[in-house]
């Protein structure tokens, strides 16, 4: 997923469609002008937020998309 700029002052967070059904093992992502923000969905109010630059995010997603399937790994 390419990072795309947002015009809203607050990031719009979303959970991956690959997240577990119990909602305790999930990260949330928000796309911002400089790339992407990542946080733990369990501690979203007080937890840390990781900021990833646009180029690094695109390389990360590209590497996951082109990686061979492994046993137990989710397929993108």
- Mean pLDDT along residues 55-74: 77
With H, G, I as helix, E, B as strand and everything else as coil, classify residue 61. helix
Query: Of residues 5 and 67, which shows the higher confidence score?
Result: 67
Domain edges within the chain: 1-12+24-66
From CA 40, how far away is CA 27, in angstroms rounded?
5
Q: Please name the helix (run of DSSP H) or strand (run of DSSP E) that holds residue 60, with its range, or none.
A: helix 54-66
At residue 76, the pLDDT reads 45
The model's pTM: 0.66
Given a contact cutoff of 8 angstroms between Cβ atoms, the answer to whether 9 and 1 are in contact is: no
Which tens digit of pLDDT belongs to each residue from 5-42? 545 578 999 887 766 666 666 888 999 999 999 998 88
From CA 51, how far away is CA 69, in angstroms rounded?
27
Positive or negative, the CA dihedral 7, 8, 10, 15 is negative
- Band (pLDDT 50/70/90 cuts) for residue 69 is low
């Amino acid at each position: 997923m390419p990072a795309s700029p947002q015009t809203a002052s607050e990031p719009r967070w979303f959970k991956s469609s690959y997240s577990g059904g119990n909602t305790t093992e999930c990260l949330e992502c928000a796309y911002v002008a400089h790339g992407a923000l990542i946080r733990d969905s369990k501690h979203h109010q007080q937890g840390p937020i990781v900021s990833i630059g646009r180029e690094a995010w695109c390389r990360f997603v590209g590497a996951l998309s082109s990686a061979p399937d492994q046993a137990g790994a989710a397929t993108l």
